[in-house]
Amino acid sequence: AWKKFAAKGFSTQEDFEREVVRHVETTLARSMFNCDETAAYAAASLAFRDRLITEWNRTQQRQTFADGKRVYYLSLEFLMGRALDNAMLNVGLKGVAKGGLADLGFRIEDIINQEHDAALGNGGLGRLAACFLDSLASLNYPAWGYGLRYRYGIFKQEIVDGYQVEVPDYWLDFNPWEFPRHDVVVDIQFYGHVRKYQDTQGKQCSSWEGGEIVKAVAYDVPIPGFDTPATNNLRLWSSKAASGEFDFQKFNSGDYESSVADQQRAETISAVLYPNDNLDRGKELRLKQQYFWVAASLYDIVRRFKKSKRAWSEFPDQVAIQLNDTHPTLAVVELQRILLDLEGLEWDEAWAIVSKTFGYTNHTVLPEALEKWSVPLFQNLLPRHLQIIYEINLYFLQSVERKFPKDRDILGRVSIIEESQPKMVRMAYLAIVGSHKVNGVAELHSDLIKTTIFKDFVKIFGPDKFTNVTNGITPRRWLHQANPRLSELIASKTGGLGFLKDLNILNDLEKYADDKEFKKEWAEIKYANKVRLAKHIKSTTSVTVNPSALFDIQVKRIHEYKRQQMNIFGVIHRYLTIKAMTPEERKKLAPRVSIFGGKAAPGYWMAKTIIHLINNVGSVVNKDPDVGDLLKVIFLEDYNVSKAEIIIPASDISEHISTAGTEASGTSNMKFVLNGGLIIGTCDGANIEITREIGENNIFLFGNLAEDVEDLRHAHTYGSHTLDPDLTKVFEEIKKGTFGDAGAFSALVGAIEEHGDYYLVSDDFHSYNQTQALVDEAYKNQDEWVSKCITSVSRMGFFSSDRCINEYAESIWNVEPLAPEKGD
């Protein structure tokens, strides 16, 4: 009987408006007479959410019925950004919503801008996870994301007197995109001890007992695919005290304060995202977060598997779990514990299942980012897991010893336990041993992990266990949503929006690279995007920039290896050059706006100093009458996903200038090129593959190669280290106090002058500046510049996250899409 009442969701403008009004009047309990933009945003979101959840239900039923293999993507970060615009576009009803909102008296852009970013991530790794969810749904893969529902996402950045100030990002006041599942609750245990006992058959068993329990409550976020009804699920766990409101025993015995404290302690687990990017600090609360999230997710996955009543040996045929970096590596140990201690399997039987289930993706080679946990900390928090790790390590080392009986050092090198004081658990090694595939995220990076940090493991497991899956980005958000006019122009020449699902269709654009009319439209769109960014700059910094100037952009987390310091030193060099020019010489120079954006980890002083220097240079340069429009320096506050959507389409050139061998892939490089911007970059990460695809005439590469980095560093330390003469002049200017108190920047200068210049800023400075001069020259020939941009875009098909997800599905997960039936 219920079927005739099943929710359908709107598809016409009239039905959409009816839904919006209904939500304003009933869900929000407001009158349409005082419906402001906040309420309109809420109601429009709820209308779309209703639609999504209907499809979500159907998708889940279809998957349950098909009973095939599912993918679980475990990531501590999902940098989703805004959901409403994305939902409208993926469902294909943005036009309907625009008309409906206009009819109700609202501009759709204003309504979209009401939404708070879901900023549950730091940078590249978190945004990659979000792009993957979009591709998994768009390609109809049965897949779930699992993460943590942080009460506070990445902090908001304010710039006060040139310094970064962190402000908490409390984003959950009103979040229409999540469904609390108060019926999906898992008990998570911490601390306690291990009891050994014999079961009725006399088998030696272990049981983890005592300690404390925290509850994990599920919150589901629907993930709509583009141009398909398939709607997947992102399940985020929130922590809650096990005893409900508070511990009544303590309460009744008069210990009210401590009962509330217990509750707060439980809720602390999912309270805040750790804001470090590429730095491991080994904090106990972080390990608690990891176990809490991993244990809840595995409980859920195992429960779903058990419903199918299959033999345990079929687990890897039904379940593929991807570890997004080492953060979820405890899942390997937890699954082994479940199979061994709770389900009663034998060690070897259990381990065969575990090691076929997991895949591990490495995202960094920076030594300070490789996770290690102290053994005493582990022993206290997760005593049974530590035992299992020791046992995994024992069997692993025994197999290594059998394979390399003559190599006396290898055991110490590959041991999961580092014999330091205190001993440490090496999470990457545990992830490798517990997975059937290990992948890097760009070709160079995948080669580097095989020849450096994981070299011994390639010897042990053979080369086939290690593979590459070059990163990608979703063209739905990063082209269609961020740059609607460009998307429309491309659609008009390639036969509709099909390119958004098969990005190789962009190839069809190449024939327009010399088409006058097409180029004119292309250039107009870029200009309009620059005007939009110039307005944003004006309203946030009060600086006026000329939209005809060359927009040079570097937006990403601030890190010494990404070398924003080299960029700002280059800007100072340019400033000094301009100051030394005659008025005639100045006339020949292409005006430039240098735009920076990005957050520094709160405890990363060097990164904060770089932000300070950029701001101080800006305040000197931007008001120097000698310079005028020739150079402006902008630091954009609080770079995040929704700002990226405005910034990226407005770039002429963007900077991806990491020391060769340090940036695993980079993904914004792909976003910038896809939006018709050229890039200046080093031979690092995915820049190399971008060059191969678009052609070396369409990219500005410079700098030393990864293979030479080690020797150069050695020479800095043991040879004589002479600085680049232009860099010396830049440093002299900083030391004179031209950009404020020189003392504030002494550590930044000192790292290069005195402390070995680890990131080779001086070594690359000359070729960087020379290449920037080539950019100036090239930009003067707008006709050729636009052709380069069009050609580049036409060759970017490879960098779709759809290609990337298909590679994972085929070579790592062994899963097939489950397409909805026609009329479904």
530 or 656: whose CB is closer to ligand 26W? 656
Distance CA 743, CA 734 (A): 9
Distance CA 88, CA 95 (A): 8
Site size for ligand 26W (CB under 6 A):
23
Stretch that binds ligand 26W, among 278-286, 504-512, 612-620, 688-696 (CB under 6 A): 278-286
Query: Reading across the β-sheet that carries 70-74, which strands appear in turn?
Result: 179-190, 212-224, 231-241, 143-148, 70-74, 319-324, 358-361, 437-440, 466-468
Contacting residue, 290, 336, 594, 667, with ligand 26W by CB under 6 A: 667
Q: Does 654 bind ligand 26W (CB under 6 A)?
A: no
Q: Does 655 bind ligand 26W (CB under 6 A)?
A: no
Stretch that binds ligand 26W, among 228-236, 510-518, 660-668, 688-696 (CB under 6 A): 660-668
Contact 69, 109 (CB under 8 A): no
**Angle separating helix axes 284-307 and 330-337, nearest 10 degrees:** 50
Residue of 240, 556, 563, 573 marked catalytic? 556
Distance CA 300, CA 290 (A): 16
Q: Cα–chain-centroid distance for residue 438? A: 19
Q: Does 134 bind ligand 26W (CB under 6 A)?
A: no
383 or 661: whose CB is closer to ligand 26W? 661
433 or 448: whose CB is closer to ligand 26W? 448
Q: Which residues are within 8 A (CB) of 735 and not within 5 positions of it... i.e. 6 or more apart? A: 742, 749
Stretch that binds ligand 26W, among 116-124, 240-248, 577-585, 612-620 (CB under 6 A): 116-124
Contacting residue, 389, 633, 664, 690, with ligand 26W by CB under 6 A: 664
Q: Does 659 bind ligand 26W (CB under 6 A)?
A: no
Stretch that binds ligand 26W, among 139-147, 301-309, 662-670, 805-813 (CB under 6 A): 662-670
Q: Does 277 bind ligand 26W (CB under 6 A)?
A: yes
Q: Does 441 bind ligand 26W (CB under 6 A)?
A: yes
Q: Does 663 bind ligand 26W (CB under 6 A)?
A: yes
Q: Does 280 bind ligand 26W (CB under 6 A)?
A: yes
377 or 581: whose CB is closer to ligand 26W? 377
Q: Does 125 bind ligand 26W (CB under 6 A)?
A: yes
Point out which residues pair with 118 in neighbouring strands. Answer: 81
Q: Does 523 bind ligand 26W (CB under 6 A)?
A: no
Residue 666, classed as helix, strand or coil, is coil
124 or 681: whose CB is closer to ligand 26W? 124
Smallest gap, in angstroms, from Cβ of residue 47 to ligand 26W?
34
Helices (H), 174-329: 248-252, 256-268, 284-307, 315-318
Stretch that binds ligand 26W, among 16-24, 251-259, 659-667, 717-725 (CB under 6 A): 659-667
Query: DSSP states of 94-162 as a string?
Result: HHHHHHHHHHTT--HHHHHTTPPPEEE--SHHHHHHHHHHHHHHHTT--EEEEEE--SB-SPEEEEETT
Contacting residue, 17, 169, 300, 325, with ligand 26W by CB under 6 A: 325
Residue of 445, 557, 632, 795 marked catalytic? 557
Contacting residue, 261, 279, 458, 589, with ligand 26W by CB under 6 A: 279
18 or 608: whose CB is closer to ligand 26W? 608
CB-closest chain residue to ligand 26W:
124
Query: Is residue 363 annotated as a catalytic residue, yes or no?
Result: yes
Residue 483, classed as helix, strand or coil, is coil
Point out which residues pair with 180 in neighbouring strands. Answer: 219
Residue 700, classed as helix, strand or coil, is strand
Smallest gap, in angstroms, from Cβ of residue 681 to ligand 26W?
12
Q: Cα–chain-centroid distance for residue 272? A: 17
Smallest gap, in angstroms, from Cβ of residue 274 to ligand 26W?
7
Stretch that binds ligand 26W, among 6-14, 89-97, 502-510, 664-672 (CB under 6 A): 664-672
Burial label, 26 (beta-carbon count in 10 A; 0-12, 13-18, 19+)? exposed
The footprint of ligand 26W on residues 351-390 (CB under 6 A) is 363-364, 369, 371
Q: Which residues are within 8 A (CB) of 469 and not within 5 positions of it... i.e. 6 or more apart? A: 361, 439, 440, 441, 804, 807, 808, 811, 812
Query: DSSP states of 303-341 as a string?
Result: HHHHHTT--GGGHHHHEEEEEESSTTTHHHHHHHHIIII
Residue 1 CB neighbour total at 10 angstroms: 4
Helices (H), 603-705: 605-621, 641-647, 668-674, 687-694
Query: Is residue 64 annotated as a catalytic residue, yes or no?
Result: no
Smallest gap, in angstroms, from Cβ of residue 584 to ligand 26W?
44
Task: Single out the residue of 661, 568, 607, 7 nearest to residue 279, CA to CA.
Answer: 607
Q: Please give the DSSP secondary-structure letter assigned to residue 36.
A: -
Q: Does 601 bind ligand 26W (CB under 6 A)?
A: no
393 or 665: whose CB is closer to ligand 26W? 665
Residue of 59, 474, 667, 791 marked catalytic? 667
Task: Single out the residue of 750, 754, 745 nearest to residue 609, CA to CA.
Answer: 745
90 or 276: whose CB is closer to ligand 26W? 276
94 or 327: whose CB is closer to ligand 26W? 327
Contact 110, 200 (CB under 8 A): no
Query: Is residue 307 annotated as a catalytic residue, yes or no?
Result: no
Contact 637, 537 (CB under 8 A): no
Query: Is residue 671 annotated as a catalytic residue, yes or no?
Result: yes
Q: Give whole-number Cα distances, 231 to 44, 149, 227, 320, in Å.
A: 19, 20, 11, 19
Contacting residue, 81, 123, 162, 224, with ligand 26W by CB under 6 A: 123
Smallest gap, in angstroms, from Cβ of residue 268 to ligand 26W?
19
47 or 365: whose CB is closer to ligand 26W? 365
Contacting residue, 59, 665, 682, 769, with ligand 26W by CB under 6 A: 665
Smallest gap, in angstroms, from Cβ of residue 45 to ligand 26W?
29
Point out which residues pair with 207 in neighbouring strands. Answer: 195
Residue of 156, 363, 384, 716 marked catalytic? 363
Q: Which residues are within 8 A (CB) of 246 and not within 5 positions of it... i.e. 6 or more apart? A: 256, 259, 260, 262, 263
557 or 574: whose CB is closer to ligand 26W? 557
The footprint of ligand 26W on residues 217-276 (CB under 6 A) is 276
Q: Which residues are within 8 A (CB) of 128 and not within 5 positions of it... i.e. 6 or more apart? A: 324, 363, 441, 471, 667, 801
Q: What H or E segment, with its residue span, contains residue 219?
A: strand 212-224
Query: Is residue 562 annotated as a catalytic residue, yes or no?
Result: yes
Query: Is residue 557 annotated as a catalytic residue, yes or no?
Result: yes
338 or 664: whose CB is closer to ligand 26W? 664
Q: Does 62 bind ligand 26W (CB under 6 A)?
A: no
Contacting residue, 81, 124, 176, 434, with ligand 26W by CB under 6 A: 124
Q: Does 128 bind ligand 26W (CB under 6 A)?
A: yes
Contacting residue, 471, 529, 622, 698, with ligand 26W by CB under 6 A: 471
Smallest gap, in angstroms, from Cβ of residue 273 to ligand 26W?
10
79 or 730: whose CB is closer to ligand 26W? 79
Stretch that binds ligand 26W, among 351-359, 417-425, 566-574, 665-673 (CB under 6 A): 665-673
Long-range contacts of 164-169, Cβ-Cβ distance < 8 Å, separation of 24 or more: 164/599, 164/600, 164/608, 164/611, 164/612, 166/275, 166/602, 169/119
Residue of 23, 671, 716, 788 marked catalytic? 671
Positive/negative CA dihedral, 73, 386, 463, 351: negative
Catalytic residue positions?
A: 363, 556-557, 562, 667, 671
Site for ligand 26W, rule CB under 6 A: 122-125, 128, 276-280, 325, 363-364, 369, 371, 441, 471, 663-667, 685
